[in-house]
Structure 1
Amino acid sequence: MALADTTNCPQRETTPIPSSSIPQKRALLEEDHSPAISSPLNPDVASKSTTQKVQFQTPEETVTNTMTREKRTKKDSLKKRESKGLAPFESSRSTQAANKAPKESLADMAPLRYKLAPPKPTDFDLARGPIFTSHHETTDPSGNQIEFFETSDHVYNKKSFHYTHCIADPTFPSMFYYRRTDPEPYGAHMSFEDAASHVYFTKSGTHVTTDKGFRMSRANVAVREGKWYWECKVTRGIPKDSSGGSNGHVRIGFARREASLDAPVGFDAYSYGLRDASGQKVHMSRPKDFFPTDESICEGDVIGLEINLPSERLHRKIVSGQYNPAVDVEDSAPNPRDIEYPNIIRDRIPIRFKAHIYFEKIDYQTTKELEELMNPSPVGTGSAGANATATPPNPLHPVPGLRTLPRSYIKVYKNGKLMGTPWTDLLAFLPPASKMGSGTTQGNRDALDDGEVGYYPAVSVFRGGAVEVNFGEDGWWFPPESLTEEGSDVEMGGTEENGRRPVAERYNEQIVEDTVYDIIDEVGFWAIGVGKDRIGGKVLAGEKVMIGGGTGRGGDNDEEIKELVQDD
């Protein structure tokens, strides 16, 4: 039986063997080193692991393994060790010590850490955006020329993975030597990475179009709580003087991370969209009348979208099953001593793509319950999904993904005039309502909050349709009319108690949150002693380290972190 290289693995207790034999070391298991979901970096995990085992086989190890095969002590399986809260690389002695330690230690809650080579000098350069290549020009209803560009030399969020820019920073030695950053253009705009292929942008990222079928683009900011507002202008679509013809179509709304980018907004249960034709509202591909009869969204119209979400404190109560409608009547701010801050854990790894450095992390995936909600199975099939969706979504639903947020809504304005509220009681999105790919990491880490789940402003364009977005940084094209709620005027801006805040302000908040989370991660790794192996080259017992040789993501014997290969 061939053995793998065990240089970096902790020793197990020695099995009695003849003194002339080499001491037995723990064999690397396939299940320990193969990620549950292959990423673009390791498409052929099985063959790679097999190659490594053959490469490091020695005659002495073969003889030793043969002589001691009958005396080997059966080890716990990976799942059994995970159920005990242990790292997969802990030795038997480490296991005994871990059993005496508190179950929820800092090391258990820390993000996974991958051993990487030091960064290159170029990794300290400022992040760069995509390369723009002119694709075509068009004219808006006012006669202005708009030049759209094809973006290249950047990675797309696909294949179940999510990417964000990062930069090397020597002040983060315990983590990766890398932290989150953003390239130009700075500010809230439609994301170049979080868009389907064949979506064309202006250089500011505020104008999108396509010459293909429906393609979606999400903004680079997500809203998680509070009341937010943004607007968009249709620059190519249904002409106002047309009798049925069009220059393309658009849909606008909000979409979660799980929503498909190769489909229009409102296609699935993860997004809410508004059609230009007849002004219909769409959710789970079910169009319903919303605008008055014979009224559509035409070229030159400005559509404003307002979303209201409860506080994350109440949201967490709902998804954890602790919500009590009789007690949690008001969503007011609690006593500062009672505030529960989000537990943000980001499992990510820096990778290269051409001249860029990105953080790669496993993205949130669709669930069977919401797929069943969109396409119910016939009654009597006995499927788990059918049983779960027998009860309509509500805040107390037994399935977290089918729980709704009380007092949440989306309102629609046309040219500053309120058209109505097409959606209320939006579906919850905080984990475990949202989950990453099944079995992606250890234990229940697929239900962790990485700080970027939420509702994203989103637009879809179809065969020439074009939309320009405005997140309120420089004011509004059509400020929404003032409304009276609970006896007081509600004005735009973030200073009013019930005010609608521009999404541009959320971008600034998101930058602050990323900075805080990076510092917390660094301090957390330093507190459990992970940073010591940067200096002494040691791996501490119980440390959650994924060895790069088995995952294809970089390791002690690698000269460089891996480079992502992805079609533009």
Structure 2
Amino acid sequence: MTLFLPLAGNVKGRQGKRRPAVGTETGAPVGKKGRSSDLSSLKLPSHGYPTEHPFNKDGYRYILAEPDPHAPFRQEFDESNEWSGKPIPGWLYRSLCPGVVLLALHDRAPQLKIAEDRLAVTGEKGYCMVRATHGVSRGIWYWEASVEEMPEGAAARVGWGRRYANLQAPLGYDKFGYSWRSRKGTRFHESRGKHFSNSYGEGDTLGFLIVLPESHSTKYTPNTYKDRPLVKFKSHLYYEDKDNIQESLNNLKALAGSRIFFFKNGECQGEAFADVYQGCYYPSVSLHKNCTVSVNFGPNFKCPPNTDQSYRPMSEKAEEAICEQTMADLLYLAENEGKLRLDNFNL
């Protein structure tokens, strides 16, 4: 059974230039007969995500959806009576891509407290984690985190995590994450810690650079969710996607030439990991007790890294992700046009 939890507080976010993140239309409520009552009636709150939403948990992920103006047969669907009492087809919607890189409100452990600008997080009790809204699977990317408060007994593990990294555990607990711990400067992956650098603490600014070379199996478009079922929660529509952790574990392959570097106050601490598993990596923060860490996804960094690597700030991923998601959706619609036509006319 999936548990839905409300988001505490009225969290506000920054507004990007593009359509997706703030003040945009989203999924419409579904009437008694299964039809949308008004596709333009609902607005997202100022922080860009519903204040009450389904967290990603219990083996399922929930992707906020909005009407797709490019979907074929939308007019026919709106005018047809053939769909009365039936679910809205997923291909009439699209996943909503945030227009700016921030800490994810939904893709986090619910006990973590996210700041109003979604650029800081405070922990509570045991280790738990939050991921950023965007991830990267190829190229050289960099982001920054600053330790704002670290009371006695608190700790942090920060770095890069994939979508299946356990949110109720420290980053680096499983095969899906690579982290740098505040205590003793230990680096962690798959719960194995190895000495890496001196410790870090309150007042330090940390940098995280990942190098992901392209390979023959590199994916250039993300998954489209148009073939997934739509579910309604608090008047918003979401794609429901089932996790398949075991399959992902079975398919793990090292990416030759990939590397992760950590920086402290702009100074490189060396190569932390090499030949990491191929996949999509998200900036990730895991905290123990009431430690507070702020994040900076660029383009202007507090402590620019002293490196010869030609990196891109994570902030640039937002617009690129919109283009990639749009291409994935268009490819799905083009490849399935015949099937969608049959479905639309209920043949």
TM bin (shorter chain): 0.7 to 0.9
Q: Which of the residues 126, 151, 167 maps onto 1:213?
A: 126
Q: Which of the residues 120, 125, 128 maps onto 2:42?
A: 125
The offset of 1:129, in angstroms, is 6.8
Note the alpha carbon deviations across 1:42-91, whole angstroms, 9 max, x for none. xxxxxxxxxxxxxxxxxxxxxxxxxxxxxxxxxxxxxxxxxxxxxxxxxx
Tell me how far apart the structure 1 counterparts of residues 38 and 171 of structure 2 sit (CA, whole Å): 42
Q: Which of the residues 286, 301, 304 maps onto 1:479?
A: 304
Aligned residue number for residue 537 of structure 1: 346
Aligned residue number for residue 177 of structure 2: 271
The offset of 1:305, in angstroms, is 0.5
After superposition, residues 339-354 of structure 1 pair within 5 angstroms as 344=223, 346=225, 347-354=227-234
Which has more radius of gyration? 1
Correspondence 1:417 to 2:274: no
The offset of 1:458, in angstroms, is 0.4
3-state DSSP class of the match of 2:141?
strand
The one-letter code matched in structure 2 to 1:463 is K
Instruction: Say if 1:131 and 1:152, in contact at 8 Å, map to a contact too.
Output: no
The one-letter code matched in structure 1 to 2:144 is E
Aligned residue number for residue 20 of structure 1: none
Instruction: Say if 1:269 and 1:283, in contact at 8 Å, map to a contact too.
Output: yes
- What is the TM-score normalised by the length of structure 1? 0.49
3-state DSSP class of the match of 1:314?
coil
After superposition, residues 19-30 of structure 1 pair within 5 angstroms as none
The offset of 1:169, in angstroms, is 3.5
Give the ranges of 4+ consecutive aligned residues of structure 1 lying more than 6 Å apart after TM superposition. 129-132
Instruction: Say if 2:2 and 2:57, in contact at 8 Å, map to a contact too.
Output: no
The offset of 1:128, in angstroms, is 4.1
Q: Which of the residues 179, 184, 190 maps onto 2:94?
A: 179
Q: How many residues align?
A: 301
Instruction: Say if 1:305 and 1:411, in contact at 8 Å, map to a contact too.
Output: yes
3-state DSSP class of the match of 2:57?
coil
Instruction: Say if 2:222 and 2:324, in contact at 8 Å, map to a contact too.
Output: no
3-state DSSP class of the match of 1:235?
strand
The one-letter code matched in structure 2 to 1:412 is F
Structure with greater helix percent: 1
3-state DSSP class of the match of 1:204?
coil
Instruction: Say if 1:418 and 1:480, in contact at 8 Å, map to a contact too.
Output: yes
Tell me how far apart the structure 1 counterparts of residues 176 and 269 of structure 2 sit (CA, whole Å): 23
The one-letter code matched in structure 2 to 1:423 is F
Q: Which of the residues 124, 146, 154 maps onto 2:53?
A: 154
Instruction: Say if 2:147 and 2:201, in contact at 8 Å, map to a contact too.
Output: yes
After superposition, residues 443-462 of structure 1 pair within 5 angstroms as 454-462=280-288
- What is the TM-score normalised by the length of structure 2? 0.79
Change (3 A) 1:123 1:164: farther
Instruction: Say if 2:138 and 2:213, in contact at 8 Å, map to a contact too.
Output: yes
Tell me how far apart the structure 1 counterparts of residues 231 and 95 of structure 2 sit (CA, whole Å): 13
Change (3 A) 1:154 1:131: farther
Instruction: Say if 2:221 and 2:327, in contact at 8 Å, map to a contact too.
Output: no
Tell me how far apart the structure 2 counterparts of residues 269 and 254 of structure 1 sit (CA, whole Å): 11
- The sequence identity of aligned pairs, in percent, is 31
Correspondence 1:465 to 2:291: yes
The offset of 1:520, in angstroms, is 2.1
Note the alpha carbon deviations across 1:1-59, whole angstroms, 9 max, x for none. xxxxxxxxxxxxxxxxxxxxxxxxxxxxxxxxxxxxxx749xxxxxxxxxxxxxxxxxx
Change (3 A) 1:299 1:418: same
Aligned residue number for residue 80 of structure 2: none
Q: Which of the residues 256, 259, 265 maps onto 2:162?
A: 256
Tell me how far apart the structure 2 counterparts of residues 256 and 513 of structure 1 sit (CA, whole Å): 18
The one-letter code matched in structure 2 to 1:300 is G
The offset of 1:461, in angstroms, is 1.2
Instruction: Say if 2:222 and 2:328, in contact at 8 Å, map to a contact too.
Output: no
3-state DSSP class of the match of 1:348?
coil
Note the alpha carbon deviations across 1:365-393, whole angstroms, 9 max, x for none. 1459x5xxxxxxxxxxxxxxxxxxxxxxx
Change (3 A) 1:265 1:344: closer
Aligned residue number for residue 493 of structure 1: none
Aligned residue number for residue 513 of structure 1: 324
3-state DSSP class of the match of 1:513?
helix
Structure with greater strand percent: 2
Q: Which of the residues 135, 147, 168 maps onto 2:67?
A: 168
Change (3 A) 1:459 1:525: same
Q: Which of the residues 117, 122, 127 maps onto 1:204?
A: 117
Aligned residue number for residue 211 of structure 2: 308
Gaps of 5+ in 1: 1-38, 42-115, 133-150, 239-244, 317-339, 371-398, 430-453, 484-489, 491-498, 539-568
